[in-house]
Amino acid sequence: QVQLVESGGGLVQPGGSLRLSCVASASIFSRYAMAWYRQAPGNGRELVARIIRYGDTNYADSVKGRFTISRDNAKNTVYLQMNSLKPEDTAVYYCNSHPSLPTWGQGTQVTVSA
């Protein structure tokens, strides 16, 4: 059974930080690269960051130097450390494998506002 549970979102001021967490079922975590995606109101879902099983990472240009993706293989958990947040980072954030599977979690809302 595919399960993805995201947490850690919230309301933060511009320039602030948040750390998102996602626990995935072992069937996903052990086989695939993991990634964070986001969807802002009126926009499609976009890839934010990706990490392969052994640690190589890729980032969208809009978050390079501000966001860091990491994973704990023992806990089937992927993290997204978000620093220097901007209002345009406001979105619902989801984790999934990369390429993504059809099943998505509920996401976690990140709102960056003064």
Q: What is the pLDDT along the chain (114 residues), one digit of tens a residue?
A: 779 999 999 999 999 999 999 999 988 888 779 999 999 999 999 999 999 977 899 999 999 999 999 999 899 999 999 999 999 999 999 999 999 999 999 999 999 999
Q: What are the phi and psi torsion angles at 27 (to 5°)?
A: -60, -30
CA distance 98 to 38: 13
Strand 108-112 with 10-12, pairing: parallel
pLDDT of 81 reads 98
pLDDT of 53 reads 75
Type and span of the H or E element at 29 = helix 26-29
Type and span of the H or E element at 109 = strand 108-112
pLDDT of 32 reads 78
